[in-house]
Amino acid sequence: MRGSPYAAIAVAVVSVSTAAIFITWSESPPITIAFYRLAFATAILLPFAALHPSRPLRGIARRDLLSMMGVGGILAAHFALWITSLKVQGVTVASSVVLVTSHPLLVGLLSHFVLKERVGRKAALGILVGFSGVVVIALADYGLSATTLGGDLLALLGGIAAGFYFLTGRRIRKRVSLLAYAFLVYGSAAAFLAPLAFVLGPGLAPSGTLVKELALFLALAVIPQIGGHTLYNWSLRWVTAPVVSLSLVGEPIGSSLLAWLLLDQTPGWAVALGAALALAGIYLTALGESERSRPIETARVG
């Protein structure tokens, strides 16, 4: 059993790495994809949350319930922004996933300047190196087109939403079980996305072949959402801080490799250099922060 959390981390990282591939294969609008991913995941979790012997949904304070609805809204914003970035012409899986995973850099800055929590030398170096990589990616994509740079900005904003998702969810996860938290947050996020799909697009009807689209939505719910996020959350309680930090850079690497194999996407040398700098910075920042206080209550969102 001692080795199982590390195996779970490995499975979770591989699982979340598939998300960008499934999204790219889908022909549906970004908000529609995000809605069905979270709605299907909520439906799958429902019987477990309702019938579990510990009854995780009972006894939740009203304050925590309202807070989780707010966290669900932030999660909805994260997925809406990131999935939209993947649909922008010229934006590669590598650049989008690296930028959306840059939230440790953003959380580090927010903690230092807003929460007045001093950042250690390792984290400070990571923030500097990481953002230098983000700038390199932005300059490289701006050389392609302003539209591509706009897609990068959407991914970065998705990373900012992920950072707020982490910060707001930390205290709640100390009081609420993982199963109840995942069910209520995923469900709330889907509820926010449903009306947004009608405001920004044609609604919730999938595009393209219905069977294919529903299969991709189900795959997103089962593999990266539940098999990735939820499994990752469980394993964080049992692993060391360096493993937690290293796993954060696993998704961009895994997604980039899958995009190379399955989508024939090979990033240019500038994007590759920027991604290497950004991932090194993310690792250093996350390692520096997790050594101070292991974030076992946070949730993975990629």
Range with the lowest mean pLDDT among 10-24, 42-56, 281-295? 281-295
| Rounded-to-5 percentages of helix, strand, coil across the chain | 75, 0, 25
Residue that wins the pLDDT comparison between 249 and 33: 33
Indicate if the pLDDT at residue 181 is higher than 80. yes
pLDDT band for position 209 (cuts 50, 70, 90): very high
- Euclidean distance between CA atoms 110 and 107, whole angstroms: 5
Q: How many CB atoms lie within 10 A of CB 6?
A: 15
Span 88-112, mean pLDDT? 82
Given a contact cutoff of 8 angstroms between Cβ atoms, the answer to whether 68 and 128 are in contact is no
> Tell me, what's the pLDDT at 167?
73
Indicate if the pLDDT at residue 263 is higher than 70. yes
Percent of the chain at pLDDT > 70 equals 87
Residue that wins the pLDDT comparison between 128 and 292: 128
Which tokens belong to 173?
A: 């996860």
Percent of the chain at pLDDT > 90 equals 36
Judged on CB neighbours under 10 Å (0-12, 13-18, 19+), 153 is middle
Q: Where are the beta strands (DSSP E) in 38-181?
A: none
Backbone φ/ψ region at 208: left (φ over 0), alpha (ψ -120 to 50), beta: left
Indicate if the pLDDT at residue 293 is higher than 50. yes
Q: What is the DSSP string of 145-210?
A: -HHHHHHHHHHHHHHHHHHHHHHHHHHHHHHS-HHHHHHHHHHHHHHHHHHHHHHHSS-SPPPS-H
Count CA within 13 A, CB hemisphere, residue 208: 14
Indicate if the pLDDT at residue 2 is higher than 70. no
Q: What is the mean pLDDT of the chain?
A: 84
Contact partners, residue 28, CB within 8 Å, separation at least 6? 36, 206, 207, 208, 213
